[in-house]
Amino acid sequence: MKRLTKEDLLNAKKDELAEESKEWINVGYSTCGIAAGAQEVLDVLRDEIKKRNINIPIKTSGCVGKCYAEPLVEVCVDGMPRVFYGKVNKNVAIQIIDEHIGQKKLINDHIYESDTIAKKVVFVQDTDTGKKKRLRDFCSAFTDSLKKFDLEGKVEIVRVADSGVYNRGIVVRIFPDDFLYSGVSNDDIDRIIEDSIVGSKKIDSLICGLKSKQLRIVLRNCGIIDPEQIKDYIAHDGYRALAMVLEWDDPEKVIEEIRRGGLRGRGGAGFPTAVKWGFARNEKADQKYIICNADEGDPGAYMDRSFLEGDPHSVIEGMIIGGYVVGASKGYFYVRAEYPLAIERIHKAIKQARALGLLGENILGTSLNFDIEIRLGAGAFVCGEETALIASVEGERGYPRPRPPYPSVKGLWGKPTVINNVETLANVAILIYKGGDWFSKIGTETSKGTKVFSLTGKVKNSGLLEVPMGTTIEEIVSDIGGGLIDNKNIKAIQTGGPSGGVIPTELHNTPVGYESLQKLGSIMGSGGMIAMSEDDCMVDIAKFFLQFCVDESCGECAPCRLGGPQMLKILEKISEGKASLEDLDKLRQTSMVMQNASLCGLGQTAPNPVLSTLKYFEEEYKMHVIEKKCLAGKCKELVSYAISIKECARCGLCMRECPVDAITGSKKEGFVLDDEKCIRCGRCFEACKFGSVVRY
């Protein structure tokens, strides 16, 4: 491979850097995609293409974010719109080859995203769940009406799996004009055909005003480019920011640009990146370092994994620019060992970047020297804390050190060190390329740009999303997440993982930002966002997170080492119905000590999940303490089960499920549950299809 120079990147037109095929099939091939069966889909597609002698390249990419729809296949062929098919199995893969590519026909029930279509096509979806018959009736009525207008066979009706709109009745999207209607009933059909299909006229009363809340800036390449091909990244304006920076030949200008953009650390604390870089730049030292913190420890968050699997070069480019600005010639990727695919892709990316002269000596033909080494984490949450991380890179136990001195003054091996989170670094290149002014227009007054969240838990559309800062939690959960599974009521959203807190429903109109979430007693954190329903007990959630921090406490300082287990004991007492109201005060007191006296962020923030649940759900705590009840049914000691003879269908499933033979009886006489023997595992309750096992 020929080494590139900065002029190559600055002057070249896109197509000179990489010839891109106009047609392709792209299989989402990230950890979640593979877990959902992407390998089988890939094999089938390759087989079928070969069998039929079709000349369309099949490529693989990272995660596009729609984890709920994996495995995903993007198809772009002549004469058809670019479409993302989701929940693709072997049969759908064959359909893609036969129908989509062969007969140029769209496939029902699997379209999750589509470009505008130039032909007369109608997309339909029932966005309320569990209404299959309603949609069937609607489609047949639509077909009948088309006959009436003599349009049979001239307009294609396609049932789609995801129209990007949720819980708004039947949704109809009409091409080629791309009108999106929601809440459509059978009575509207004739009008739609007459006005919008025949007449290309918009019907204002049906228009669905909802616009996509997502803005994909950092995730722009994820799921689109092949992360294992550096040319793909370069063809998408990759490494141009680096070339621009080298052309400016002025590190201060880079810092100024980032300051103007208002970029703040995406790891959670939100420290201004320009200031951090400035500190390290101003230090005089023979050696400086830049470290990418990819030790994504928050259980329930996987943004970093997706960046590294889907677009590793954007992070590398950010690191090179950072290295140039602060004067570091060496960078480290500190990655979780639990992310093997991400590690493999970074390895490949670094190798390819070296081959093209983007890493190593004389980068892009200039005097810049910078190289990157990968260091694996080994499963310690505390290593997300920057001083502990440094100790771990040095090959030691991940013990945090008191600050100051801050790493930017005295870090890795005592040298000035910048530690940036993956997402922060992924923001750098695009900020430079498009300019600080452009960047600062996105977001709120104090929180600029976008934020990537991994929305999981009880939400329908579990996945990765990117929204401008300032988007409300409600918009994220309802408009992107599609609300909760089984249309359950949302009880709270948890952000920031074990260091964060819960936010109750009444505050979901809060716009996301560093300060706004902090004000509520939570934090933005690295981007984990977990939806909880009325089936989730807040005491149990607090216990879960605190248990995590107790397990992960390194044991160095007393407040964290001793305070955590004490609080955990109290929470256990509460969930067993053995606590008194005084215990709630003790929780608050111990929290305060931990917050004020712990050495590092882990101990200082560990009480947050307890304090925030206590703040917003004190009644639920009191219910556990005073009435000895857990309404969500999670605290085993506080629930009892019984079989309601009246509703019992006498199937005997509960008896078969019971692991301790607490249920006895026969199909003739019915079944009874012995409360003394019952271990409250809830299996009978889950198993009963007739609702006759009751929990109280």
Partner 1 sequence: MITEKSDQDVSVVHEIVGRCRDIEGNLIKILHQVQSHYGYVSEAAIKEVADLLDLPTAKIVEVLTFYNFFKLHPPAKHNVAVCMGTACYLKGGETVRENFNNALNIKDGETTSDGLFQVEAVRCVGCCGLAPTVSVDDKVYGAATKKDVEKIIAKYSNE
197 vs 653, beta carbon nearer partner 1: 653
Give the x/- contact pattern for partner 1 in 70-99, rule: CB under 8 A: x-----------------------------
Distances (CA, A) of 674 to 650, 661, 662, 681, 688: 17, 9, 5, 13, 17
Give the x/- contact pattern for partner 1 in 137-176, rule: CB under 8 A: ----------------------------------------
| Single residue of 60, 494, 526, 692 touching partner 1 by CB under 8 A | 494
Counting contacts by CB under 8 A, is residue 338 touching partner 1?
yes
Site for partner 1 in 273-302 (CB under 8 A): 296-302
Taking alpha carbons only, the member of 235, 233, 226 closest to residue 19 is: 235
Which among 67-75, 85-93, 208-216, 347-355 is the span making contact with partner 1, rule CB under 8 A?
A: 67-75
| Single residue of 497, 504, 513, 633 touching partner 1 by CB under 8 A | 497
The least CB distance from residue 491 to partner 1, in Å, is 11
262 vs 384, beta carbon nearer partner 1: 384
Alpha carbons 97 and 55: distance in angstroms, whole number: 12
CB 567 within 8 A of CB 546: yes
Distances (CA, A) of 521 to 116, 198, 400, 507, 610: 43, 55, 24, 12, 10
Determine how many CB atoms are found less than 10 A away from the CB of residue 321: 27
Alpha carbons 324 and 252: distance in angstroms, whole number: 11
- Residue 194: Cβ-neighbour burial (10 angstroms; 0-12, 13-18, 19+): middle
Which among 104-112, 390-398, 590-598, 662-670 is the span making contact with partner 1, rule CB under 8 A?
A: 390-398
337 vs 581, beta carbon nearer partner 1: 337
Counting contacts by CB under 8 A, is residue 337 touching partner 1?
yes
Alpha carbons 696 and 530: distance in angstroms, whole number: 27
| Single residue of 102, 176, 199, 379 touching partner 1 by CB under 8 A | 379
92 vs 502, beta carbon nearer partner 1: 502
Determine how many CB atoms are found less than 10 A away from the CB of residue 603: 28
Alpha carbons 433 and 439: distance in angstroms, whole number: 10
173 vs 305, beta carbon nearer partner 1: 305
- Binders of partner 1: how many residues, by CB under 8 A? 52
Counting contacts by CB under 8 A, is residue 61 touching partner 1?
no
Alpha carbons 665 and 532: distance in angstroms, whole number: 37
Which helix (DSSP H) or strand (DSSP E) does residue 419 occupy? strand 417-421
| Single residue of 395, 404, 661, 676 touching partner 1 by CB under 8 A | 395
| Single residue of 398, 513, 603, 633 touching partner 1 by CB under 8 A | 398
Alpha carbons 106 and 99: distance in angstroms, whole number: 7
Site for partner 1 in 452-481 (CB under 8 A): 454, 456-458, 462-463
The least CB distance from residue 505 to partner 1, in Å, is 17
| Secondary structure of residue 568 in the 3-state scheme | helix
The least CB distance from residue 630 to partner 1, in Å, is 15
589: which residues sit within 8 A by CB, 6+ positions away?
none
239 vs 399, beta carbon nearer partner 1: 399
**Bridging pattern class, strands 501-504 and 490-495:** antiparallel
**Where would I find the beta strands (DSSP E) of 505-609?**
528-533
Site for partner 1 in 526-565 (CB under 8 A): 528, 530, 532, 536, 544-545, 554
156 vs 338, beta carbon nearer partner 1: 338
Alpha carbons 149 and 238: distance in angstroms, whole number: 51
Counting contacts by CB under 8 A, is residue 394 touching partner 1?
yes
CB 639 within 8 A of CB 600: no
Binding residues vs partner 1 (CB under 8 A):
31-32, 34-36, 67-68, 70, 296-302, 305, 337-340, 375-381, 392-398, 413, 454, 456-458, 462-463, 494, 497, 528, 530, 532, 536, 544-545, 554, 659, 681
